[in-house]
Chain A
Amino acid sequence: MSQVEAGALGPQPARSRRTTFRATLFRNELLTTFRRWRTLALLAVLAAVPILVGIAVKIETGDGDSAGGGGGPAFISQITNNGLFLVFTALAATLPFFLPMSIGVIAGDAIAGEANAGTLRYLLVAPAGRTRLLLTKYTTVMAFCLVATLVVALSALAVGAILFPLGDLTTISGTRITFAEGLGRALLIALVVAASLTGVAALGLFVSTLTNSGIAAMATTVGLLITVQILDQIPQLHALQPYFFSHYWLSFADLMREPVYWDDLVKNLGLQALYAAVFGSAAWARFMAKDITA
């Protein structure tokens, strides 16, 4: 019972095994994040989008042959021919808002939420280490980006398989690829979409270090997201638009070309890396110097 006598002198013998213990905070952080009711609710909303899109397309085309061309997200007119296209449609539908919004909520809450609850001071006194904690938080947010994207993709794949036929598919360029190759492209697209969100994740994390209110950080991040999306539509801001984190998001469709058109994809990933570097550093600088008064 009395556990205080043993290590009363000197540092812990565990010091030499520190590398073994480094990952435990990350594991715990993942577990904690995905046990939050809020996280599960966000994932549920994301999973519901492909279901709604799938049912809507099914109803719309129930009597006629193919979905009306023109409107709606990319690939929507092809869903009735091949359920796999629901994956691309669902990602195209959620990428502009639902996906980055949920990232904004998780990233905005990362530090500010802990500060708000007071748990930040105990994590730092443990001592988690400020750099280690921030890296853990960013890694966890990126893991959430991946999980959120995969939830949309898998939900879409399941709904597509239930409601529509599956089979070989036609790329944007008009060539035929096998269903297996189509699945491979779908996975690649999901990974690119997840990577497209790392910029917002870094931005949200930076905002999160600025305030002690989780709600304020989430609202600010989502507000910035909406603002940037609006500015990206204004032609007069043409010169600035290539620097908006959302500008090249829909370039993932280029993975469905034959051969793949890499230009915008590379620009997108480069831009995300730039945002991650700039706002990641800003978050670090801010968090290192921050007085933890909450």
Chain B
Amino acid sequence: MDQPSATEPDPEGAGGGAGDGVIHTHALTKRYRGGQLAVDGLDLTVPAGSVFGFLGPNGSGKTTTIRMLMGLIEPTSGSARVLGHPMPRASRTVLPQVGALIEGPALYGFLSGRDNLIRYDAADPTADPRTRGTRVAAALDRVGLAAAAGKKAKAYSLGMKQRLGLAAALLQPRRLLVLDEPTNGLDPQGMREIRSLVRELASDGTTVFLSSHLLDEIEQVCTHAAVMAQGRLITQGSVSDLAGGARGRLVVTTPDTADAARVLKEQGVGDVVIAENRVTSDPPEGEPAAINAALVTAGVRVRGFGVERASLEDAFVALTGEGFDVAG
């Protein structure tokens, strides 16, 4: 991934007034009845106005954390504050201002898409029934389901169900959107639409908390990220800081790979790896141009030379020492 991360132009402060973050947890812990420790002493801070990527392999405790933040699961110990109020105690105050998509959409198959949204809206005691029809239509329109609004939800494709779930999260103006794997089941075009929707919402000042196991998805839309593995928080911070924390790679493209590798070793760079037409290594301590000069002087036909920026995936591997798709 050599594409720059899509950082919004200073979204900070747009959400406003949430003190120490829109989401703030302290030593949040959940141990299930079987004794399994799902979340272990989580200290998480989500800044207001950020698009916050919540990363981790399947089974790393992301969904349990989200359920605790949404008041669905009682923490074993520790505390969680959302929009400045303690959860789950302040659910009635906090949740009307939060739109959520948790572990995929859940719909009433025998109801139309529109009636599904009407039902979820009726469940919110702060939602005004007089504007319900308008808000439901606007939400359907926003996710591109206006044409299928009258169809029974059981006839929807997975992608359409996902969109309807998103529409339910957009029924009211929200200060926080919690989206758990929002692009699951969507085709590439749908994924792009969701990403642009997330950016649009964020530029309006909504804080977006986005969980995903897809690193490049996070890298494309998020300003901040946290990484979880086996119930513990490994790191959190801005995406550029996280990716910057991992070292990039020096890449030399050349047909003379053996010679290039020898020269690189002579220049004192470590971890030289030869691949087809490419030699990669740790980035040099000093000026990379000096290395290039040494290669050319030694008669290596250099066709490409540069330092590749580290991706979030490199950062993750560096942090956990394992591949990303390993289930906790």
Chain A residues within CB distance 8 Å of chain B: 1-9, 11-12, 14-15, 17-18, 20-22, 24-25, 27-28, 32, 35-37, 117-119, 121-129, 132-133, 289, 291-293
Contact = CB atoms under 8 A, between A and B. Distances in A.
Contacts of A289: 74
Given A118-B106, A124-B71, A127-B92, 14 more contacts: A5-B205, A7-B173, A7-B175, A11-B97, A14-B128, A21-B126, A25-B125, A32-B111, A121-B67, A123-B123, A125-B100, A126-B95, A127-B91, A129-B125
Contacts of B71: 124-125, 127
A292 B126 contact: no
B93 interface: yes
A117 B109 CA distance: 9
B15 A291 contact: no
Contacts of A123: 120, 123
B17 A9 contact: yes
Given A15-B126, A25-B122, A28-B118, A129 B17 contact: no
Contact of A9 (B16, B102, B142): B16
Interface string B15-47: 111000000000000000000000000000000
B233 to A, nearest CB: 21
Interface in B200-227: 200-201, 204-206
B206 A1 contact: no
Contacts of B170: 3-4
B108 A22 contact: no
A126 B135 contact: no
Given A4-B206, A121-B102, A27 B122 contact: yes
A4, A5, A11, A18 pick with most chain B CB within 10 angstroms: A4
Contact of A117 (B72, B108, B122): B108
B138 interface: yes
B106 A121 contact: yes
Nearest to B93: A11
Given A8-B15, A36-B110, A3 B138 contact: yes
B17, B93, B142, B173 pick with most chain A CB within 10 angstroms: B173
A14 to B, nearest CB: 5
Given A14-B126, A37-B110, A126 B173 contact: no
Given A7-B173, A121-B102, A132-B125, A127 B96 contact: yes
A3 B171 CA distance: 9
Nearest to B16: A9
Contacts of B123: 25, 28, 122-123, 126-128, 133
B323 interface: no
Interface string B229-261: 000000000000000000000000000000000
A28 B120 CA distance: 9
Given A1-B141, A121-B102, A293 B173 contact: no
Contacts of B128: 14, 17, 21
Given A8-B15, A121-B72, A122-B168, A129 B106 contact: no
Contact of B204 (A2, A28, A121, A122): A2
B73 interface: yes
27 contacts: A2-B200, A3-B135, A3-B142, A3-B173, A4-B170, A4-B206, A6-B173, A8-B204, A8-B205, A9-B175, A14-B128, A17-B128, A18-B126, A21-B126, A21-B127, A25-B125, A32-B108, A35-B111, A118-B103, A121-B106, A122-B102, A122-B120, A125-B72, A127-B123, A127-B124, A128-B124, A291-B72
B107 interface: yes
Interface residues of B, number: 53
Nearest to A35: B110
B71 to A, nearest CB: 7
A121 B102 CA distance: 8
B119 interface: yes
B125 A4 contact: no
A118 B138 CA distance: 24
A33 to B, nearest CB: 11
Interface string B64-78: 000100111110000
A119 B108 CA distance: 8
Contacts of B15: 8
Contacts of B70: 121, 124-125
B96 A12 contact: yes
A4 B120 contact: no
Given A28-B122, A132-B125, A292 B72 contact: yes
B92 A129 contact: yes
A22 B129 CA distance: 10
- 9 smallest beta-carbon distances between A and B, as pairs: A118-B106, A7-B173, A126-B123, A127-B95, A28-B122, A128-B123, A292-B72, A4-B204, A126-B124
Contacts of B127: 14, 21
Contacts of B201: 4
Contacts of B126: 11-12, 14-15, 18, 21
Nearest to A36: B110
Contacts of B97: 7, 11-12
Given A126-B123, A127-B92, A132-B125, A293 B110 contact: no
A21, A122, A123, A126 pick with most chain B CB within 10 angstroms: A126
A4 B124 contact: no
Nearest to A117: B106
Contacts of A27: 122
B174 interface: yes
B176 to A, nearest CB: 10
